[in-house]
Amino acid sequence: MIVPITAILLFLVSYLLGSIPFGLILAKLFGGADVRKTGSGNIGATNVARVAGPLPGVLTLAFDAGKGWLAVWLAGRVMHGEAGVMVIAGVFALLGHCFPVWLRFRGGKGVATAAGIFGALCHEAMVAALILFALVVWFWRYVSLGSLAAAAAIPLLIYLLWAPHFAPPNVVTVGSLAIAALVIFQHRANIGRLARGENIGRLARGEEPKFSFSRKPDQA
Question: Hey, how many other C-beta atoms are within 10 angstroms of the C-beta on 21?
Answer: 23
pLDDT value at position 68? 98
Q: How many CB atoms lie within 10 A of CB 196?
A: 12
Task: Give 10-residue mean pLDDT values along the chain (220 residues).
Answer: 77 98 95 86 92 94 98 96 95 98 95 97 96 95 92 97 90 97 95 69 46 44
DSSP summary character for residue 202: G
Determine the pLDDT at residue 32: 75
Please list, in sequence order, all residues whose beta carbon lies within 8 angstroms of the beta carbon of residue 74, skipping any fewer than 6 positions away. 10, 13, 14, 89
Report the pLDDT value the prediction gives residue 209, as an integer from 0 to 100: 52
The predicted pLDDT at position 194 comes to: 79
Cα 74 from Cα 93, distance rounded (Å)? 12
pLDDT of residue 142: 86
Q: What is the pLDDT of residues 158-180, one digit of tens each?
A: 999 998 878 899 999 999 999 99
pTM above 0.85, yes or no: yes
pLDDT (0 to 100) of residue 39: 83
